[in-house]
Amino acid sequence: MTILVFGGNGQLGRELLRALSSLGTVVATTRSGTLTDGSTCEVADFNQPDSLVALLGRVRPDIVVNAAAYTAVDKAEQDAEAAFRANAEAPGVIARWCARAGVPFVHYSTDYVFDGEGTAPYREDQPTAPLGVYGTSKRDGEDRVRAAGGRHLIFRTAWVYAAHGNNFLRTMLRMGTERPALRVVADQIGTPTPAALIADVTAQALQHAGGLSGTWHLTASGQTSWHGFAEAIFAEALARGVLPKVPSVEAIASSEYPTSAKRPSWSVLDNSKLQQDFDILLPDWQEGLKRVIGELTP
């Protein structure tokens, strides 16, 4: 079985290359044609969505997994066309090819499709209302994948991080070595979710005998704020010897840290449907953090 993975150099893509290797031959793509280890791979340019058809026809995969996306949330406000090409048009092109070929298509979306005004974890069937270009482009991508009519697995996730790549955890660890004190937003609530967990659950879902198609929320369990996440990162890093000392972390309001794009204040997703449909137990976010920090232990 051949599994084509778009976005092989991203933090999720790198974990997918690992997690899916037990299912068959994994063919990775990146925009540059080179993986982080220096090896070559297929070229896929999401800025030119129609060019992806030739690649799909040549590889003829049995499963397609799309971990590529335009994720520069603030930049998207001034670069909407590029965001929609990568997050909506390209997934639509891939989904239509997969539908014609009878190939399952896995696609990842985001908590940013919601407006963040909720007070209970969002279910998959609740109305979407993105606050900015990034969330709107991701919602459009979801719609195009569904409209293609093939078997699809759309996984909405949130607050993704890993021991590699660009993410909140690595930023905190870097800044923690540079500054004695940090100010972190405390009025945005969500669930930190390791990329490895998303990749492992994807592999399990693809092996499920039910042949299910639809949309699921895929995050770790529980919830915290960015401030709470930062404090947990530093506590675990100090305990594991990743950092010799840690900074103080002041809780601030989102209004004290203005950004071009508005963030949802409530990003907690209800993942019970995924756990029930695929018979998967999703661990608490703190357990996931311990595992990721463990990868960094000297």
Over residues 153-181, the pLDDT tens digits come to: 999 999 999 999 999 999 999 999 999 99
pLDDT of residue 240: 95
φ, ψ for residue 61 (rounded to 5)? -70, 160
Mean pLDDT for 8-15 is: 97
Higher per-residue confidence, 69 vs 210: 69
CB atoms within 10 A of CB 60: 10
Residue 70: pLDDT over 80: yes
Triad 288, 290, 296: Cα angle to 5°: 115
Rounded Cα gap, residues 83 and 140, in angstroms: 11
Query: With bands split at pLDDT 50, 70 and 90, how would you rate the model's confidence at 210?
Result: confident
Beta bridge partners of 269: 122
Across the range 147-152, mean pLDDT stands at 98
Active-site hit among 112, 134, 161, 257: 134
Answer whether 84's CB lies under 8 Å from 140's CB. Answer: yes
Task: Give the whole-number percent of the chain exceeding pLDDT 90.
Answer: 97
Token duo for residue 38: 């220096």
pTM exceeding the 0.85 threshold for the entire prediction: yes
Instruction: Give dist(CA 78, CA 81) in Å, integer.
Output: 9
Residue 221's closest CA among 204, 251, 201, 242?
201
**pLDDT at res. 191:** 98
pLDDT in tens, 280-297: 999 999 999 999 999 998
The yes-or-no verdict on residue 209 having pLDDT over 90 is: no
**Intra-chain end-to-end CA distance of the chain, in Å:** 37
Mean pLDDT of 270-282: 97
What would the pLDDT profile of 187-197 be if each residue is shown by its tens digit?
999 999 999 99
HSE toward the beta carbon, residue 10, CA cutoff 13 A: 24
Sign of CA dihedral 197, 199, 204, 205: positive
Residues in the chain: 298
Which two tokens mark 77?
A: 């406000």
Query: pLDDT band for position 201 (50/70/90)?
Result: very high
Active site residue 134: yes
pLDDT tens for each residue of 102-111: 999 999 999 9
Going through 218-283 in order, the beta strands assigned E by DSSP cover 224-225, 248-252
Judge whether residue 213 has pLDDT over 90: yes
Q: Which long-range contacts (CB under 8 A, 24 or more apart) does 248-253 make?
A: 248/180, 248/181, 248/182, 249/181, 249/182, 249/183, 249/184, 250/181, 250/182, 250/183, 250/184, 251/184, 251/185, 251/186, 251/225, 251/227, 252/183, 252/184, 252/185, 252/186, 252/227, 253/185, 253/186, 253/187
Residue type, 187: D
Indicate the pLDDT class of residue 224, thresholds 50, 70 and 90: very high
Segment 112-139 mean pLDDT: 97
